[in-house]
């Protein structure tokens, strides 16, 4: 039952792109068009990460969504990360983009200082960002400016603190009871 | 539907009520598949606005990962999407393997594909049974769980656990398949196609089921992509996208299977996609079974993979490695990866960030149920209350994965 290559992929589809293909032409395209939108590029483990200044994140997202070579029409995920209270910048917000026609992926990263955790919302670019941003707000306290409905999503509304921050204790500050 | 038997003295009122009513559906409602609460704003029986309220099952799993060694995290993943635990195991261990740069032996990859496809069938069987039960067809449920039981027995034979197998390990498998597994698996695969025909006979031609599902909960392909739908829900809107094809992992590119799509984007289309997917998973399982060749099931990485019990009795270094892995864990190179797989419900992505130690700095699960549920307000707008149940069933959500 060894599958031959001729009966695997239907012809009109693009060739499957494995994770290792780095969309470096996209990086050069962004570099060429808007060099100020790109703070750093990291290539590691076969994945490309572009560090974006936070005020430009929505612009970069819509740029990549509409760029014919990129076509990142699918926002796979947004997740925050905390580097620890002693680090500066302390917080990261990672945007994982995917193209449903070209099958490639890219990660955009925004770095935030602890005293100013505001990022422009990308709900205007992909509506799926809504719940992802609410989750990141809930867990890390990152505030997405322009979000239509920025409430806690997993934890109760009166919860104190942000649970996935490194300085939040694993067992919480005190036993929680509904008020 | 027009009815000819209304007496003439009754005036038929066919306009919306002036008042709207807000009701709470769940979290104990049986058709919300767990502890989902919906805030429904109703105009008569028509849904004006739906607001999902989640978090009742939140157990802080992503926080817990940061306090556990990499190999201990596998056990937590079982409890996320508890209908597809092997898929969760796979996404987690493959993310860690990507950071470590491990090569997985061919036999281990084939067994992973085989087990994941069996698990996908089991997951779809639970969806089919409960979806039909929600709509009112009770019989299908028993037939589905009869077949699912056979798969759970196979998973139990391989891993020792029925619902929480933790069968995949970083670098390979917990252990090789037991003696006689291949014959039992063949027996199941022979019995399964007639069972699918049975489901079709029970449900597909049923006029009540068709009326309850066709044209309900529509979403267009553009909206589906914009809202991040994935898996069978996205393919039910006519988008030909499957991560097994787009970004192949675990040698999926070597298997011959189709990606079923349906153009309509309604509950019926998602039903048909999953029914056809079960047959494709059956096909992949049969191919994987025929490709099984003897060989190692663990990668050649003594500092990461636990040694065999026998080797520990005769080799000093195996004993030392075992002690170090269990007591201190293993260090993973610093960096971050995002590893997506096609789970039974859609794109399951694991974001893993390492600082170089034996515990991850951050693990995030992009659960397909989480994203698929966020589309419910769009699908439910303008539908009847009773159809909400059908739409939730067609989304195939698991609250364990949504709340994490």
Task: Considering only the beta carbons, identify the residue of A47, A73, A152 that sits closest to B337.
Answer: A47
Residues in A touching B233 (Cβ below 8 Å):
none
Cβ–Cβ of A49/B351 closer than 8 Å?
A: no
CA A19 from centroid of its chain's CA atoms: 17
Parse chain A into domains and list their residue ranges: 17-145
Residue B19 maps to a domain: no
Cβ–Cβ of A1/B290 closer than 8 Å?
A: yes
Residue B7 maps to a domain: no
Low-confidence ranges of chain B (pLDDT < 50): 1-3
Considering the entire predicted model, what is its pTM? 0.88
**What strand order describes the sheet that includes B37-43?**
B21-25, B37-43, B46-53
**What strand order describes the sheet that includes B346-354?**
B335-343, B346-354, B362-366
Question: A17-145: which CATH number, 3.30.460.80, 3.40.630.30, 1.10.287.3510, 3.40.1010.20?
Answer: 3.30.460.80
| Distance to chain A for B120, nearest Cα, Å | 20
Residue B18 maps to a domain: no
Q: How much is the pLDDT for A142? A: 92
Comparing CA positions, the residue from A92, A135, A84 lying closest to residue A110 is A92
Residue B215 maps to a domain: yes
Low-confidence ranges of chain A (pLDDT < 50): 1-22
Residue B1 maps to a domain: no
The residue of B65, B95, B189, B226 whose CB has the most chain A CBs within 10 angstroms, and thus the best one to mutate to test that interface, is B226
Q: How much is the pLDDT for A10? A: 42
Q: How much is the pLDDT for A178? A: 62
pLDDT tens-digit series, residues B261-291 = 999 889 999 999 999 999 999 999 999 999 9
Specify the DSSP class assigned to residue A7: G
Q: Give the chain A residue whose CA is nearest to the CA of B234.
A: A100
Residue B370 maps to a domain: yes
Residue B362 maps to a domain: yes
Cβ–Cβ of B58/A139 closer than 8 Å?
A: no
Residues in A touching B381 (Cβ below 8 Å):
none
| Distance to chain A for B337, nearest Cα, Å | 7
* Domain interval for residue B175: 61-403
Separation CA B404–CA B401 (nearest Å): 5
Residue with tokens 């939108």: A37
Q: How much is the pLDDT for A27? A: 80
Please count the structural domains in chain B.
1
Residues in A touching B284 (Cβ below 8 Å):
none
CATH of the domain at B129: 1.10.645.10
Neighbouring CB atoms inside 10 A of B301's CB total 17
- The A residues from 133 to 172 touching B (CB cutoff 8 Å) are 135, 139, 152-156, 163-164, 166, 168, 170
Residues in B touching A107 (Cβ below 8 Å):
336, 338
Q: How much is the pLDDT for B196? A: 92
Query: Reduced to 3 states, what is the DSSP secondary structure of residue B241?
Result: coil
Separation CA B80–CA B89 (nearest Å): 10
Residue B313 maps to a domain: yes
């Amino acid at each position: 039952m060894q599958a031959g290559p001729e009966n695997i992929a239907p012809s009109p589809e693009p060739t499957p792109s494995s994770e290792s293909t780095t969309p470096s032409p996209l990086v050069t395209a962004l570099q060429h068009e808007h060099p100020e939108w790109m703070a750093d590029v990291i290539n590691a483990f076969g994945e490309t990460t572009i560090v974006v200044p936070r005020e430009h994140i929505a612009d970069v997202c819509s740029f990549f969504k509409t760029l014919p070579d990129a076509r990142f029409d699918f926002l796979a995920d947004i997740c925050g990360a905390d580097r620890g209270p002693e680090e500066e910048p302390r917080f990261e917000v990672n945007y994982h983009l995917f193209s449903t026609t070209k099958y490639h992926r890219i990660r955009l990263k925004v770095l935030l200082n602890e005293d100013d955790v505001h990022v422009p919302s990308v709900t205007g670019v992909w509506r799926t960002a809504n719940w992802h941003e609410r989750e990141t707000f809930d867990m890390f306290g990152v505030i997405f400016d322009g979000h239509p409905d920025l409430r806690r999503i997993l934890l109760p509304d009166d919860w104190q603190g942000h649970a996935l921050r490194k300085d939040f204790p694993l067992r919480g500050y005190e036993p929680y009871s509904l008020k | 539907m027009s009815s000819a038997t209304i007496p003439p003295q009754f005036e038929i009122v066919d306009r919306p009520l002036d008042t709207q009513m807000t009701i709470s559906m769940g979290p104990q409602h049986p058709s919300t598949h767990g502890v989902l609460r919906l805030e429904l704003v109703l105009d008569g029986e028509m849904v004006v606005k739906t607001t999902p309220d989640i978090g009742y099952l939140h157990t802080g799993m992503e926080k817990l990962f940061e306090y556990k060694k990499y190999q201990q995290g596998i056990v937590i993943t079982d409890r996320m999407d508890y209908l597809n635990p092997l898929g969760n195991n796979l996404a987690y261990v493959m993310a860690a393997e990507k950071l470590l740069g491990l090569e997985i032996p061919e036999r281990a990859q084939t067994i992973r594909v085989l087990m994941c496809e069996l698990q996908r069938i089991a997951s779809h069987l639970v969806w089919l049974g409960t979806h039909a039960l929600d709509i009112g067809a009770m019989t299908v449920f028993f037939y589905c769980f009869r077949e699912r039981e056979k798969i759970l027995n196979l998973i139990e034979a391989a891993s020792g656990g029925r619902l929480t197998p933790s069968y995949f390990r970083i670098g390979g498998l917990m252990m090789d398949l037991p003696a006689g597994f291949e014959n039992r698996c063949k027996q199941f695969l022979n019995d399964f196609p007639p069972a699918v025909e049975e489901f079709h006979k029970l449900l597909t031609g049923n006029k009540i089921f068709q009326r309850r599902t066709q044209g309900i909960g529509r979403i267009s392909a553009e909206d589906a992509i914009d809202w991040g739908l994935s898996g069978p829900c996205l393919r039910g809107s006519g988008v030909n996208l499957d991560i097994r094809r787009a970004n192949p992992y675990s040698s999926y590119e070597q298997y011959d299977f189709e990606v079923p799509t349906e153009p309509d984007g309604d509950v019926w289309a998602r039903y048909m996609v999953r029914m056809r997917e079960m047959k494709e998973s059956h096909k992949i399982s049969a191919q994987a079974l025929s490709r099984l060749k003897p060989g190692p099931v663990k990668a050649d990485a003594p500092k990461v993979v636990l040694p065999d019990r026998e080797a520990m009795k005769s080799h000093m270094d195996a004993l030392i490695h075992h002690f170090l892995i269990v007591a201190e864990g293993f260090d993973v190179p610093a960096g971050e990866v995002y590893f997506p797989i096609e789970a039974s419900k859609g794109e399951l992505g694991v974001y893993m960030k390492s600082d170089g130690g034996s515990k991850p700095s951050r693990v995030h699960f992009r659960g397909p149920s989480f994203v698929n549920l966020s589309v419910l307000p769009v699908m439910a707008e303008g539908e009847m209350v009773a159809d909400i149940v059908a739409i939730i069933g067609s989304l195939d959500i698991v609250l364990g994965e949504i709340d994490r």
